[in-house]
Structure 1
Amino acid sequence: MADQTTTSAQTAESDKGYWQANVRIILVSLVIWAVVSFGFGILLRPMLSGISVGGTDLGFWFAQQGSILVFLALIFFYAWRMNKLDKEFGVEE
């Protein structure tokens, strides 16, 4: 009976660590996406207007394409990192 209690306590700690790591990855990804899409595309656009990218200013580029490209990169990063995290905690498919 004591062995089951120890095993369930270890499982609970492992589950807690897994979800803390998962939430941390999600929060970091959301902050990066918010800074790029809202920060660079809207708030910092006047400061980025002097830099030219593809015939337009950098602020407009971030608002139109940069935030989408960063979002796609974050999707691939999240999938890669979660696969690594799953293997680390022994819950891979």
Structure 2
Amino acid sequence: MSNKQDHATAYWKENVKYLAILLTIWFVVSFGCGILFREELNQFKLGGFKLGFWFAQQGSIYVFVVLIFVYVRLMNKLDKKYGYDE
């Protein structure tokens, strides 16, 4: 393989690693906190609502938006690292 091909492969592997980590966080927050861990989280309240309900209705959306910004930041750093930035 050429050096350029190795460079692109390394870039893609790191990108997929970031995606896997961020999607795992999103899954745990949306499905885990809203459904699987609901009973345990409902012992606590946030803004007058049970925490499990809050995660199912609002929290997972907020976390998803934050993860988008985290992904953008990570990809900008990755692009600079591999010379793909503009």
TM-score over 0.5 for the pair: yes
Offset at residue 9 of structure 1 (A): 1.1
TM-score by length of 2: 0.97
TM-score by length of 1: 0.90
Determine what percentage of the aligned residue pairs are the same residue: 51
Q: Residue 5 of structure 1 aligns with which residue?
A: none
Q: Which has the larger radius of gyration?
A: 1
Runs (4 or more) in structure 1 with deviation over 6 Å come to none
Say which of 17, 25, 31 aligns to 1:32.
Answer: 25
Q: Distance in 2 between matches of 1:53 and 1:91?
A: 42
Q: Distance in 2 between matches of 1:52 and 1:44?
A: 14
Over aligned residue pairs, what C-alpha RMSD do you find?
Answer: 0.8
Deviations 1:16-43 (A, max 9, x none): 0000000111111100000000000001
Query: Which structure 1 residue ranges, 5 or more long, are not aligned?
Result: 1-7
Equivalent residues, number: 86
